[in-house]
């Protein structure tokens, strides 16, 4: 059986506890740091007046040719690493530099609305 499809989460949601350990996620951010000796990258995103960071374990996507300052989308599972905190174990890490972040965020919100509406219709049952 295949795992559930990864749901898009904003970077500020990943560390807030909104995502459970082991859950598949998709998120994005600007690559601000890469530590090859630890197989760890740090993505950063601005939300309101706060800067949010997501740690990414890159072991499964190496060799990895990082472009510091570029936008990336990551697909992986959430892990709680002792002494580090919440980290995404990357299965896919793609550079998407040039993506319009405002449109991406709008698309994520539209997708969430669609799924929420679809779930509520399914819960109401089929029309008679």
Q: What's the pLDDT tens digit per position in 1-38?
A: 556 677 888 888 888 777 888 889 999 999 999 999 99
Percent share of the chain, pLDDT over 70: 94
Report residue 111 as tokens: 């997708």
Kind and range of the H or E run holding 33:
strand 24-35
pLDDT of residue 82: 83
- Per the model's pLDDT, the better-predicted residue between 83 and 33 turns out to be 33
Give the domain ranges of the chain. 7-121
Q: What is the mean pLDDT of residues 58-79?
A: 92
Q: What fold, for 7-121? A: OB fold (Dihydrolipoamide Acetyltransferase, E2P) (2.40.50)
What residues are paired with 94 via a beta bridge?
73
Beta-carbon neighbour count of residue 65 at 10 Å? 7
What pTM was estimated for this model as a whole? Answer: 0.83
Choose among 35, 44, 36: nearest CA to 15: 44
pLDDT of residue 50: 87
pLDDT of residue 44: 94
pLDDT of residue 128: 57
pLDDT of residue 127: 61
């Amino acid at each position: 059986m295949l795992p559930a499809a990864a749901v898009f989460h904003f970077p500020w949601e990943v560390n807030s506890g909104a995502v459970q350990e082991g859950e598949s996620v998709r998120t994005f951010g600007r690559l601000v740091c890469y530590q090859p000796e630890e197989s760890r990258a740090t993505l950063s995103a601005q939300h309101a007046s706060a800067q949010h960071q997501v740690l990414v374990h890159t072991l499964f996507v190496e060799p990895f040719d990082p472009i510091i300052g570029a936008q990336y989308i990551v697909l992986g599972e959430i892990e709680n690493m002792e002494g580090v905190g919440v980290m995404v174990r990357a299965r896919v890490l793609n550079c998407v530099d040039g993506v319009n972040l405002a449109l991406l965020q709008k698309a994520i919100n539209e997708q969430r609305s669609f799924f929420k509406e679809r779930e509520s219709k399914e819960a109401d049952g089929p029309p008679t």
